[in-house]
Amino acid sequence: MIVIDLPLDRDFDIRSQAAQRFWRALEQRPLGPSPRVLPIQTKHRLILALRAADGWVEGNSYREIAAGLFGARRIPDRGWKTSDVRSRIIRLVKKGLRLIRGGYRALLRHKRKGKSDKS
Q: 46 and 32: one domain? A: no
Whether residue 119 lies inside any domain: the answer is: no
* Residue 108 confidence class, pLDDT cut points 50, 70, 90: low
CB-based contacts of 99, cutoff 8 Å, min separation 6? 46, 49, 50, 53
Higher pLDDT, 88 or 77: 88
Q: 15 and 71: one domain? A: no
Q: 33 and 44: one domain? A: no
Q: What percent of the chain has pLDDT over 70?
A: 87
Q: 70 and 22: one domain? A: no
pLDDT at 64: 95
* Residue 51 confidence class, pLDDT cut points 50, 70, 90: very high
Residues 12, 17, 19, 21: what is their CA dihedral angle, to the nearest 10 degrees?
A: -170
Q: 57 and 27: one domain? A: no
- Which amino acid, residue 78? R
Which domain does 73 fall in, by range? 40-109
pLDDT at 58: 96
> What's the whole-model pTM score?
0.65
